[in-house]
Amino acid sequence: MVQELIIYPAVYLGIVIGLYELLLIHRDVNFRGSHWFGHGFHAIGFIIMALFLTMNAEFAYSYFGFLQGIPLINNPFAFRIFIGLILLVKIHTVSAVVPKAGIKGMRETWTHSLIITGLVILMPYIWPFIEPVVRGMLPGL
């Protein structure tokens, strides 16, 4: 059985989690300027892509059968964790390499990086509880 793609929820939730990321990076920065703002909007795109992948893991596994043969990501939950680890490294390293941001860079805390990553990994399991509340309020749901 082929599952249908989950598109709108990934975009809406990606925007919300991305804005949360923007608030976290603003709180953690030791640099004043536009770099934290650019990082936040850069992060929104990656979070939307990561959410799209995690929320559609079952679709990917039913459509691309070879994924089940790859060690360590041979089931949808392991695939979600793999995507989350990529996102964790991306979020934390990008915040650390901002030029001219002082000695420490912007350096988002590990706690905040882990919160964002955890939300992305767990959102496919949280979405069924959120969906009835927002259904009808957002187009495409």
Task: Note the pLDDT of residue 128.
Answer: 94
DSSP 2: P
Q: Report yes or no on 34 lying in a domain.
A: yes
What is the model's pLDDT at position 52? 94
* Domain membership flag for residue 15: yes
Task: Identify the pLDDT of residue 37.
Answer: 66
Is the distance from CB of 125 to CB of 119 less than 8 angstroms? no
Whether residue 71 lies inside any domain: the answer is yes
Task: Supply angle C-alpha 67, 140, 24, rounded to 5.
Answer: 70
Q: What is the pLDDT of residue 103?
A: 47
Asked whether residue 141 is domain-assigned, the answer is: no
Q: Give residue 134's pLDDT.
A: 92
Please name the residue that has the structure tokens 């975009």.
11
Residues 6+ apart with CB under 8 A from 135: 141
Residue 118 falls inside a structural domain: yes
Mean pLDDT by 10 residues, the chain (141 residues): 81 92 68 62 87 91 82 88 92 66 58 91 95 90 76
Model pLDDT, residue 131: 93
What residue has token string 């360590």?
A: 72
User: How many domains does the chain contain in total?
Assistant: 1
**Burial of 141 per CB tally in 10 Å (0-12, 13-18, 19+):** exposed
Any domain includes 122: yes
Domain that residue 28 falls in: 8-134
The encoded tokens of residue 114 equal 């882990």
- 127 neighbors 9 (Cβ within 8 angstroms): yes
